[in-house]
Structure 1
Amino acid sequence: MKLAVYNVENLFDRAKAMNLDTWEEGRPILEKFAALNGLLGQLHYNPADKTRMAELMRDLGLEKSDTGPFVILRRNRGGLLRRPKTGGILIEADGRADWVGSLELRDEPVNEHAMRNTARVMIDLGADVLGVVEAESRPVLAAFNSEILPALGGSPFRHVMLIDGNDERGIDVGLMSREGFPIGAMRSRVDDRLPNGQPVFSRDCPAFEVATPSGARLSVLVNHLKSKGYGGTAEANAKRKAQAERITAIYREMTDNGERHVAIIGDFNDTPASAPLAPLLDGTDLRDIFTHPAFDDGGYPGTYGLCNAANKIDYMLLSPALFDRVRAGGVFRTGMWPGSRPKRWEAYPEVGRPADAGSDHAALWAEIDL
């Protein structure tokens, strides 16, 4: 069987703030969105909260309308705010119970060339079991599978599963599998909590049980750990470390219960030598597919951007029994922008510019005798 993982970076729609030319442009918008959402969710608003809310709303383009260039403020009932004719914003609600509504990121369609190149990667990988990262929802993933893959000559996957996670931006993780590889028992971890009551996982850490034609069973945990670029560095590192520690505990529970064939895959948003990932990479017997003698990294150590060592952030970690059954593996970069001076790898002819790339991430794959 062939197991693969791919960060698809959304399939049809993506938050406009995440679709800007560079992460540096979108990051301040996403941080202000998160800060305002946090304040709006409080039970009680003190004067300082109200002042800060008004400032953030102005920064997000909501001074004159509930629709800004990147966010939408939905007010269904109650009195959250007033916009005087003289200008400005006055927060009139004293807490979350005083109004009904939500703050949402505005979406826009993904570049059509990028969407089709994402599909080409999924087709050319030829995976039997494919973990996907940053897909909007199960209906979107199912539509992409049934409409876009066949339109480009690919065969749709037989099974498509995605459990809605904790991220409000619509970047969830899921699993797709072929005929003969049915998805059985599933377990979500969206409700796992830190000591402060916050969710452990920014998205989820779902465990999917997959049966193989030989009768063997494979457990796949798909992950997308806390990003380095969203929020303060110390806070992000602490969150990523807590996630790695929880995945480690989950893995140990599984192996203690007799599971031998376990794969933990996804975008971990950090490098192998990083302190946040140490509990998972150094504190378990899991093996990184990059270390297998049959693995071909294509001449570059990374999986993101230009694939330098500092960009090795996508992983396929395998339990020892599974690692021993690997017959081949590699990094699939054909859907990525290859750079221009010089080009680092051969890309699809349709990847004429960075915006046309199927993803900024490479896909990882492994042929496993299972």
Structure 2
Amino acid sequence: MPLRIATFNIENLMARFDFSGFRHENRQDRVVRMFGVSDKELYRDLEQARLISETDDTRQLSALAIAATGADILCLQEVDDMAALNSFERAYLSRMMGVGYRQKVLVEGNDTRGIDVALMMRDKTRDGQPIQLVEVRSHAALTYEQLGLFTPQIGLTNKPDDRVFRRDCLEVDVRIGNKPLTIYVLHLKSMTQSRDDTDGRFASMPVREAEVRAVRHIIERRFGTDGAGTASFVICGDMNDYQERLKVTGDQFSGYAFEPVREEMSALDIFTRDGFADNIVRRRPEMDRWTLFHSRGPEEQHLCQLDYIFLSQALARHNPDVFPEIIRQGQPYRTVMPAGQQVERFPRVGWDRPKASDHCPVVVSLELP
């Protein structure tokens, strides 16, 4: 009775216009910026036309990437609201997949841009087992003080009564046939550049570490410290951190080289260092685990895994030979891939845009114990 579960940062699935670029150039799209529009109403008209046109291409590609996963349950990040999710499923996904994801879960979280985590499910698995939504819990309101996670490092950017999760830890109980599964959907703190231009990943690390500790606390409170090793749960999402990466050097003329680099520290070590959860993507070859291409120009380029499906110990033991897939056909052509990993892109993918997302979906077929 395999269950296919996927995670995908769909990148700004929005159902609203953002006109803040008229006054803030760093929020202005590069096309409109070229024309130096000084009239506010004209800017609004142009921005609406540009975004509507670009969004249609983008969402066709996003839907193709989701369809390629063949997932029964899909965990999403960067979703505007339930209206946007419903519109996308009806107007794009259902046209490509027929019977779509009729069961949907989204709880408004803490993100200042209004993007949320969400979950979509079919009514049945591909082999006909019913998928039942049992219970939904949001943990968006939890604070550092409540969980005992406030530290001097956290205090540099937060107060004790601030909320731990930048978006949410969405906890969803389902039954597949008669077998239970708990799904945690996350989108951790981004690796934003700090004000003094220090490394954004390390500057934001304490916040992500607190989020990961909070997730462990939630799971161990639910199942018990020992019970967490026998429970069936998955932790899915965009973790905005990595334990390893492929450093990319060279160029299209001299050729590219890819050097595996192991990070000395990562917030995700809190999940993996004692075997609490298994990053199933690590079952893939070392050079073939990446889900995102990061580039700040030729001097700073790497491939890394930001998108994860962590399995509980029980699920990992019960699925010793399963092999996750990474869907890369929606990546823009600027993404540099190691030899042998090149894929045929979906129709109309561009050099930088349109694209399915800057992230790749990850999917795995699991047998539930």
Q: TM-score, normalised by structure 1?
A: 0.70
Tell me which of 200, 221, 235 is aligned to 1:264. 235
| 2:83 counterpart of 1:132 | no
Cα pair 1:184 1:209 within 8 Å, conserved = yes
In structure 1, the residue corresponding to 2:144 is in which secondary structure?
coil
Instruction: Among all aligned residue pairs of Structure 1 and Structure 2, give the percentage whose two residues are the same amino acid.
Output: 25
Q: What CA distance in whole angstroms lies between the structure 2 residues aligned with 1:165 and 1:287? A: 26
What is the match of residue 252 of structure 1? 220
Q: What CA distance in whole angstroms lies between the structure 2 residues aligned with 1:116 and 1:290? A: 26
Cα shift readout 1:316-341 (whole Å, capped 9, x = no counterpart): 11101111333332111111114377
Q: What CA distance in whole angstroms lies between the structure 2 residues aligned with 1:275 and 1:148? A: 37
Q: What CA distance in whole angstroms lies between the structure 2 residues aligned with 1:16 and 1:254? A: 40
Q: What CA distance in whole angstroms lies between the structure 2 residues aligned with 1:281 and 1:18? A: 41
Q: Which amino acid aligns with 1:218?
A: L
| 2:143 counterpart of 1:183 | no
What is the match of residue 191 of structure 2? 228
What is the match of residue 254 of structure 2? none
Cα shift readout 1:183-213 (whole Å, capped 9, x = no counterpart): 2111101110013111100100010011102
In structure 1, the residue corresponding to 2:12 is in which secondary structure?
coil
What is the match of residue 217 of structure 1? 180
What is the match of residue 82 of structure 1? none
* CA RMSD between the two structures: 3.3
Q: What CA distance in whole angstroms lies between the structure 2 residues aligned with 1:341 and 1:320? A: 34
What is the match of residue 247 of structure 2? none
Inter-CA distance 11–275: structure 2 relative to 1 (3 Å threshold): closer
What is the match of residue 6 of structure 1? 8
Q: Which runs of 5+ in 1 are unaligned?
A: 28-63, 71-106
Q: What CA distance in whole angstroms lies between the structure 2 residues aligned with 1:254 and 1:209? A: 12
Tell me which of 131, 153, 156 is aligned to 2:100. 156
Inter-CA distance 129–337: structure 2 relative to 1 (3 Å threshold): same
Q: What CA distance in whole angstroms lies between the structure 1 residues aligned with 2:169 and 2:325? A: 24
Cα pair 2:293 2:303 within 8 Å, conserved = no
The Cα shift of 1:143 comes to 1.9
| 2:332 counterpart of 1:337 | yes
Q: Which runs of 5+ in 2 are unaligned?
A: 29-38, 45-49, 124-129, 146-159, 244-262, 296-300
Cα pair 2:333 2:350 within 8 Å, conserved = no
Tell me which of 159, 169, 173 is aligned to 1:205. 169
Structure of greater Rg: 1
Number of matched pairs = 290
What is the match of residue 366 of structure 1? 364
What is the match of residue 313 of structure 1? 306
The Cα shift of 1:283 comes to 4.5
In structure 2, the residue corresponding to 1:3 is in which secondary structure?
strand
What is the match of residue 73 of structure 1? none
The Cα shift of 1:181 comes to 1.3
Q: What CA distance in whole angstroms lies between the structure 1 residues aligned with 2:141 and 2:171? A: 14
Q: What CA distance in whole angstroms lies between the structure 2 residues aligned with 1:13 and 1:304? A: 25
The Cα shift of 1:15 comes to 6.7
Inter-CA distance 254–15: structure 2 relative to 1 (3 Å threshold): farther
